[in-house]
Amino acid sequence: MIVGEQKPIAEIIKLLGDARKVLVAGCGTCVTVCFAGGEKEVGILASALRMMSKLEKHPMEVDEVTVQRQCEWEYIDPLKERLKEYDAVLSLACGIGVQAMNERFPDSITLPGLNTTFLGLPEEQGVWEERCQACGDCILGVTGGICPIARCSKQLLNGPCGGSQNGVCEIDPNVPCAWQLIWERAEKLGRIDNLLEIQPPKDWSRSRDGGPRKIVREDLRLGSETVETE
């Protein structure tokens, strides 16, 4: 899932500036699951803003809404008429949701209330860890399902480096060495041969380094008559 955390309230207030009527908009998918921007968090933040408005004598009317997914037109389109009432929307969706709102409703400003942080999973209650950097060329098949791009501090494709000591990474004793994990797993699965083959330099053009990415599936586009994938 996409993991995020709420911006500090002081930053949010600064972003809102002179706005007098604000809609706090949550998203019912990833950020609900990571307790950052779902209906509950929208309610808490809206209450905090109302309280601030009273304490600071800064009149601000704050309403709330949560849609199933802020990153898809079909879920945000119903907000179109309503947005005309507001000076600003404060989105608690990830950065994709915030951009979707601004792109779809160019006459309104949607501000980010979250810092979108990473693609990860809940390792335990209240703890989320990064697991993928969407590199565009997945190598989990070689590394036994452990991602060195997201989990090795140097993003090594052939590891570990000399900084791996007692199973932890040199950057922090609380960070497991991803390559130690990869080797242990390969050993357990009898797949060491996979790792003995030197991996060539990664083609980072399929990651962010190649510029903004786009996937086009002609077979899924409206009006398509062929069933082909690109």
Q: Which two tokens stand for residue 45?
A: 């933040």
- Interface characters, 124-153, with ligand SF4 (x: CB under 6 A): --------xxxx--xxx------x-xx-xx
- Work out whether 63 is an interface residue with ligand SF4 (CB under 6 A): no
CA distance 152 to 137: 16
Burial of 217 (0-12, 13-18, 19+ CB in 10 A): exposed
> Which region, judged by CB under 6 A, interacts with ligand SF4, from 96-104, 170-178, 193-201, 216-224?
170-178
CA distance 34 to 132: 16
> Which region, judged by CB under 6 A, interacts with ligand SF4, from 63-71, 102-110, 177-185, 215-223?
177-185
- Work out whether 182 is an interface residue with ligand SF4 (CB under 6 A): no
- Work out whether 179 is an interface residue with ligand SF4 (CB under 6 A): yes
Please select the residue that binds ligand SF4; options are 27, 76, 101, 169, rule is CB under 6 A.
Answer: 169
Q: Which two tokens stand for residue 74?
A: 């079909």
Please select the residue that binds ligand SF4; options are 69, 161, 185, 191, rule is CB under 6 A.
Answer: 161
CA distance 182 to 25: 41
Please select the residue that binds ligand SF4; options are 159, 183, 186, 195, rule is CB under 6 A.
Answer: 159
Question: Checking DSSP bridges between strand 114-124 and strand 61-67, what pairing results, if any?
Answer: unpaired
Burial of 61 (0-12, 13-18, 19+ CB in 10 A): middle
Residue ranges binding ligand SF4 (CB under 6 A) = 132-135, 138-140, 147, 149-150, 152-154, 156, 159-161, 163-164, 169-170, 177-179
